[in-house]
Chains A and B, each alone.
Chain A
Amino acid sequence: MSVFRKHKSIVDRAASDRVRHKKKIDKAIKESIKDVIAEESIIGQNGKKKIRIPVRGIKEYRFIFGNNQNNKTVGSGGQHSLKRGQKIGKGRANKGKGQGTGRGSNEKGEEYYDVEVSLEELAEYLFNDLELPDLEKKQFRFLNQKALRRKGYRFQGIRPRLSKKETIKRKIRRKKMAQKAGTYDPDSDERFPFHKNDLKYHHIKPKEKANSSAVIFFLMDVSGSMSQDRKFLARSFFFLLYQFLNHKYEKVEVVFLSHSTNAKRVSEDDFFKVGTSGGTIISSCLNLELDIIEKEFHPNTWNIYSFYCGDGENWNSDNKKSLELFKEIKKLSQLTGYCEINESYSGLSDDDGDSNFGASSWATFSAWKNEELENLWATLNPLCDNKFKKVMIGDVSHIWAAFKSLFGGKKDA
């Protein structure tokens, strides 16, 4: 006679191992994300779109046979009639390997598989440790930051909110009462276990915090010298920035300005889509920004952030003027960022000490060497400090580093 047991387990036994696995995936995603963020396909997408990220496999490796002719597989042919040499497939999904080997084939020793995430999740991974610097509490306006606060205790709640302290207090109280009543003898070896009624949980209440308001200026060079590639880098940078702000702050105003020899205020759509032509006068754009700040965003009320992105090939006569204007903007802003697209920049940094300026210091050096160039980059040097940061982008791989150096964060992990 067999025994039948109604299994009643309260715990989900694989839970902790699943959490551990999830952590590994998260880590792998973070490691691969740098390669993904500048990919064309994610630029200009909305949050719903799923993005495939090739992630280095979280695999258990062991000795296996390779995919070669001597490693034959046997199978049943069912009702089919078969002939020797008959072709039955193109590539073989390797035994015991994950899907998606597109990259694996190029990079020896690495196995990749694809993880699908939405843009929102991507932002979550990317921006978790980053923040707008120096967000000051300015008057009025609202930049809602919702926070959950603990407030009191309840008898009902979810497990993670269990208050151990309150629970144990109640147990001790009950124990003392039992002692008094004589139903429990403290000197006996008998255990005095927890009772369901002992459990108390933290109560949590959402608390809305009225916060300061912020406005972000996006300034982009759309002159003729901005080649397809440069434009792509600039847009990627802004796109990332935009996602970052959208993700982190519920209410920020964003002003889009694009310029060639003169500047225009444009819509978000146009900003990311419009083509390029004409010469470059950066000051036109900076003037427009100051204008808008004066009219719409008083620095007493607003946290102002400005980010400029271009190829740095300004008309020489305009450089001095631009410097003055940048100075003025810097005075009004919490942070001003200047991002230069420069293909000759290799991304090498010889300065590991100061991560914020690691990237820029080398680039500065190279710009000084090439005195003829005398571009805006060198001109802006006197401005550089915590409130004015310069970054240089040579190719897509630098975008993330540049981004991180702008927004604090630790040096690219």
Chain B
Amino acid sequence: MSNWTEADLMRWDEKILRIAEDLGLDWHPIDYEIIDYQEMLGAMAYTGLPTHYRHWSYGKEYERTHTLYNLGQTGLPYEMIINSNPSIAYLMRENALHIHILTMAHCVGHSDFFKNNRMFAHTDPNNIIDSFKSAAKYVRSLIEDPSIGIDSVERILDAAHSIKYQVPRVPGLKYKKHSELVELYQKKLQDDPDADIDLEKVPLAPQYNLLRFLAEHSKFLKEWERNLLLIVEESSKYFIPQAMTKVMNEGWACTIHYKIMNELNLPDNLHLPFIKLHNQVIRPHLGQVNPYHLGFKLFERLIEDTSFEEAKILREIHNDITFLRCYVDQDFLESMNYFSYSFKKDKKSITIDDISDGEGWEKVRNELINNVGLNRLPVVYVEELTKNNTLILKHEHDGRDLDLNYAKKVFENLEILWGDEVKILTEVENELWEF
């Protein structure tokens, strides 16, 4: 089946890197692991990380992809690459040569993006693998500890996972302990004695890092339980920048692979299947946003309007939200034929709300922005920790109501972690709602 040797891969890699250099890209060196499809499924379950702590949800993920793959409903990804230095990427042994060439060109784009985009400035690519490794080791030691065991570990991890996205959406923001905040606010008060600051309040400002807050303030968590929360938070921190730049990252990688592939002077027997594959990757998905499609098209247009050099600057400074906010206009949305839709309770059906015409495109754009990255997930922060140890959380309501069934479950998980009274405040159909 495979029509290539490792020497082929090396030869093409050399050519790809030369072109990438000419384009002025700057990437981490890449280590390619050549694996079979089962190993690929395994790698996918752990989002590509070579080591990861144990949790049943990854087993579930494996089964899910495996089933879909067996049913032929999904192909395995052509590329998967980790934000580390060196970047680790996977090539599936079963794939044909043109797929590998495209994958390698694509990976260069990703690695370049990781290394240059502002959102990743605070990630630690040199140590990320080790950090996951030691987390995995720690979790294993807890599971093997006869006084703890897998059930207790899962109890905490299950609960912690349910708030793993409740972290600040500003990459690199350092968590400040209460004592540090007090110091900071005391200084503020000195500078401005009239400021509206109540030093008795905990937290002094809304705290968006739920996991860290729980680990710091819980009266009941054991040392190892606190550590688990910190481990989950640590891995969230790794994923947040990626979630914030999915459209740009994929769009950039597609732009790069397309540019490189066209300059490689591929023979026809590789070029034609490549074109086919490329078109498949960036095709629109009916009723959905395909980030590859959106990102590629937007970069394509920006490069047409300005230049590749200009695009390189954009790939450094933006994230998905700012990128779409700045560069998506009516023309573009119309060309993508984007529209917004929702479920109407009264009609019991899904209907189209707005389409990308003169009247509706701004609304569609705003909804599009609501649909990318972390905007798809509600923001919930710590509002107050009262004197009687009640933890009050608040949902930052932006017009979209919470799914109450899910919120209820998360609420129960928070009770497990907090061990005392918890309240969650939100709005449902314009009425205040409290758990």
Contacts and interface: CB of A to CB of B under 8 A. Distances in A.
B290 A84 contact: no
A369 interface: no
A72 B370 contact: yes
A63 B395 contact: yes
B350 A76 contact: no
Contacts of A18: 59-60, 62-63
Contacts of A17: 45, 54-60, 62
B407 A76 contact: no
B413 interface: yes
A85 interface: yes
A1 B17 contact: yes
B54 A67 contact: no
Interface in A17-70: 17-24, 58-70
Contacts, number: 242
Contacts of A58: 60
A5 interface: yes
A71 B59 contact: no
Interface residues of B, number: 92
B34 A7 contact: yes
Contacts of A87: 347, 349-351
A255 B87 CA distance: 70
Contact of A66 (B63, B360, B402): B402
A58 B161 CA distance: 13
Contacts of A109: 405, 408-409
Contacts of A12: 38, 42
A92 interface: yes
A72 to B, nearest CB: 4
Interface in A108-148: 108-111
A77 B286 contact: yes
Contacts of A77: 286-287, 337-339, 355
A4 B34 contact: yes
A69 B403 contact: no
Q: Looking at B287, B293, B408, which has the most chain A CB atoms within 10 Å of its CB?
A: B287
Nearest to A73: B341
Interface in B266-305: 284-290, 293
B94 to A, nearest CB: 13
B6 interface: yes
A273 interface: no
Contacts of A65: 376-378, 400-403
Given A3-B30, A75-B289, A21 B407 contact: no
Interface in B333-347: 336-345, 347
B377 A14 contact: no
A75 B410 contact: no
B228 to A, nearest CB: 15
A83 B355 contact: yes
B355 A84 contact: yes
B413 A72 contact: no
Contacts of A74: 289, 338-340, 364, 367-368, 370-371
Q: Looking at A65, A87, A109, which has the most chain B CB atoms within 10 Å of its CB?
A: A65
A191 interface: no
Nearest to A4: B32
Contacts of A2: 13, 17, 29-32, 104
Given A74-B367, A109-B408, A7 B402 contact: no
Contacts of A24: 56
Interface string B373-407: 00011101000000000000001000111111111
B198 interface: no
Contacts of A92: 343, 350
B352 interface: yes
Contacts of A188: none
B195 interface: no
A61 B409 contact: yes
B290 A4 contact: no
B325 to A, nearest CB: 14
A69 B343 contact: yes
Given A12-B38, A73-B342, A76-B337, A7 B33 contact: yes
B121 interface: no
Interface string B144-160: 00000010001000100
A391 B371 CA distance: 57
Interface in A81-100: 82-92, 94-95
B216 interface: no
Nearest to B161: A60
A299 B46 CA distance: 61
Contacts of B293: 76
Q: Looking at A17, A18, A86, A91, which has the most chain B CB atoms within 10 Å of its CB?
A: A17
B166 to A, nearest CB: 7
Contact of A73 (B14, B284, B290, B340): B340
B132 interface: no
Given A62-B162, A65-B400, A21 B30 contact: no
A3 B351 CA distance: 51
B106 interface: no
Interface string B39-58: 10110011000000011111
Contacts of B86: 3
Contact of B367 (A68, A72, A80, A94): A72
Contacts of B353: 72, 84
A220 B38 CA distance: 54
B33 A5 contact: yes
A92 B277 CA distance: 30
10 contacts: A1-B14, A12-B42, A60-B57, A61-B406, A65-B378, A65-B403, A68-B342, A68-B400, A69-B345, A109-B405
Given A4-B32, A17-B55, A72-B370, 19 more contacts: A5-B33, A5-B34, A12-B42, A14-B46, A14-B58, A17-B57, A60-B57, A62-B161, A62-B163, A65-B378, A68-B401, A70-B399, A72-B340, A74-B371, A76-B285, A76-B293, A82-B339, A83-B352, A84-B355
Interface of B: 6, 9-10, 13-14, 17, 29-35, 38-39, 41-42, 45-46, 54-60, 62-63, 86, 91, 104, 150, 154, 158, 161-166, 284-290, 293, 336-345, 347-355, 360, 364, 367-368, 370-371, 376-378, 380, 395, 399-410, 413, 429
Q: 3 smallest A-B Cβ distances: which pairs?
A: A17-B59, A61-B409, A18-B59
